Amino acid sequence: MRGDDQKIPERLPLLDEYLKEHAAGKTPLTGVTAVLIQHQMGSQVRMAEGLIRLGLDPNRIYWVDIPYTANAAVRRALEGLGIPSENFSRPSYHLGKPYAAYQRRRVQELFSKLRKSLGPKDRLLILDDGSYYLDAISCYAHSFPRVSIVEQTTRGIIKIQRDPALRYYCSRAPIINVAQSAPKKNLESPFIGEAVCEALGKRLRTVRFGKKDRCLILGFGAIGECVAQSLEERLGVAPSRIYVMDPHRNVQKKALRRGHRLWNRDSLGRLRFRLVVGCSGTTSFTIGDRVFLEDGAVLASASSGSSELSREEFIDLADTIGDDDIYLKGKGSLRNRPIHSDIELHLVDRDVRFLNGGFPVNFDGRVNCVPPQFIQATHTLQVGAAVQAVQALNTKARGLIDLDQRLCDWVNGRFRHILKEHTNGGGRHP
């Protein structure tokens, strides 16, 4: 990523076009209170600005950051839009804290604050990044009567599908499903994949990993496929040294056609890996799977949150008792380390390393983890979905709702046109 990609962008052309063509002179978000459970990356400053142009009062915007992308420069820029500093959740995360519980508590603390000030007729809009709101609100008997939600992540959708309590609360509010919309999956994934591969490539140059080592990729969607291709092209790893685990038969067949091998847990630890990359969006590698790791193995997440590689379960296992053969390596406690530090553990007879604190390897706290011009489609979808979510409050629609197809078609066409112009103008793309 180039140095100028680390600036907060002055504009996002696609979002500007959307506001001009679809919302000129309209303020459908007037009077709405909004909670953004979101990353703090430079491109999101322009997304927040777009929501304000649609009528959101900055004083009624509240922000719960994702700890591993919290960025002071971005927060200052958001405050520059008029969002009060006290409307941002105070960060206190360290690597020793269970991540999911930490985020749930922050959302619940904000919920407790808001329910003292919002009445039954007030509208509350949630822009979520992992179903954190549903997770938090499922612990209460009563929610806000007029709440609508935008969910942008596959991980959030997976959590809803697998958790009956979340599904129950999901049925009580309109939830616009940005995550599974065609432009979100097709336009964003290649650029996320490239960002993951760039970050992973840099880190693998600093650890012991060679082209003859075995690699395991968990989840062979767009990002997993990109990781495999990057290992072949950048590091010279033979396709047959790359193993894939994915539950979908058609995906398994694709991996086999590309010369990879399929992996399951039936080998009783006889097959070991030097590198494990989690790309599934859910928990894909457990503490019991440690028998499949080589001495010196590296684990990298390309998903969201910290659940992909069971990082917290590994830490709990290491903390059980002081005289066993599983323990954290290195001086100093996790509490005092930067959250992007690697975590090294000794597991009985081998050492392993979690890159980037077990968080997604491409999210390293920079202003932009993906160049803004390549992530602007997602932000435009989020803004359009916010309007759709608020409008859904006037209907009986509840539960997961497909993103408006007209918006999807428009974003798909216009983004490709803008991307082509950017490329012809000397820009770059994966």
The secondary structure of 360-397 as a DSSP string is BTT--S-S-SS-HHHHHHHHHHHHHHHHHHHHHTTSS-
The owner of tokens 């390897």 is: 361
Tokens representing residue 142 in the block: 């009563």
Grouping H, G, I as helix, E, B as strand and the rest as coil, residue 139 is: coil
Longest dimension (CA), the chain: 68
Sign of CA dihedral 389, 391, 393, 398: negative
Report the C-alpha gap between 63 and 41 in whole angstroms: 13
Decide the pairing of beta strands 293-301 and 273-278.
Answer: parallel
In DSSP terms, which residues pair with 360 in a beta bridge? 301
User: In the structure encoding, which two tokens stand for residue 323, read together?
Assistant: 């005289």
State residue 239's pLDDT score.
97
Q: Along the 430 residues of the chain, how does pLDDT read in single tens digits? A: 454 568 999 999 999 999 998 887 889 999 999 999 999 999 999 999 999 999 999 999 999 999 999 999 999 999 999 999 999 999 999 998 999 999 999 999 999 999 999 999 999 999 999 999 999 999 888 888 899 999 999 899 999 999 999 999 999 999 999 999 999 989 988 888 899 999 999 988 888 888 899 999 999 998 999 999 999 998 899 999 999 999 999 999 999 999 999 998 876 667 999 999 999 888 899 999 999 999 999 999 998 778 889 989 999 998 888 788 999 987 667 888 899 999 999 999 999 999 999 999 999 889 998 889 999 999 999 999 999 999 999 999 999 999 999 999 999 999 999 988 766 655 554 4
CA distance 357 to 344: 9
Q: Residue 27: helix, strand or coil by DSSP?
A: coil
Confirm whether 3-184+372-424 and 187-358 share one CATH topology: yes
Half-sphere exposure for 429 (CA within 13 Å, toward CB)? 19
Architecture of domain 3-184+372-424 in CATH?
Answer: 3-Layer(aba) Sandwich (3.40)
d(CA 33, CA 87): 12
Residue 363: its pLDDT value, please? 92
182 — phi, psi (to 5°)? -60, -45
| Alpha-carbon span 156 to 178, nearest angstrom | 11
The burial of 31, by beta-carbon neighbours within 10 Å (0-12 exposed, 13-18 middle, 19 or more buried), is given as middle
CATH architecture of 187-358: 3-Layer(aba) Sandwich (3.40)
Kindly give, in sequence order, each residue whose CB lies less than 8 Å from that of residue 174, ignoring residues fewer than 6 positions away. 148, 149, 389, 392, 393, 395, 397, 398, 399, 401
pTM confidence score: 0.92
Q: Are 290 and 167 in contact (CB under 8 A)?
A: no
List the one residue out of 308, 302, 306 whose CA is nearest residue 362.
302
* Domain residue extents for the chain: 3-184+372-424, 187-358
The residue among 77, 130, 88, 151 whose CA lies nearest residue 378 is 151
Q: Is 115 exposed, middle or buried (0-12, 13-18, 19+ CB in 10 A)?
A: middle
Cβ neighbours of residue 135 closer than 8 Å, sequence gap 6 or more = 100, 103, 104, 107, 159, 163, 166
Instruction: List phi, psi (to 5°) of 268.
Output: 55, 30
Identify the bridge partners of residue 126 per DSSP, sorted by sequence position.
Answer: 35, 149
**Helix 42-53 to helix 372-392 angle, to the nearest 10 degrees?**
30
Q: Which of 349, 208, 193 is nearest to 277 (CA)?
A: 193
Token representation of residue 207: 């650890």
**Is the Cβ–Cβ distance between 340 and 356 less than 8 Å?**
yes
Q: In whole angstroms, give the CA distance from residue 198 to residue 227.
A: 9
Output the six-digit token pair for 247: 């539950």
306: closest CA among 274, 282, 277? 282
In angstroms, the CA 267 to CA 246 distance is 16
Of 254, 182, 181, whose CA–CA distance to 224 is shortest? 254
pLDDT at 422: 66
CA angle 86-89-91, nearest 5°? 120
What span, in angstroms and rounded, lies between the C-alpha atoms of 39 and 373? 17
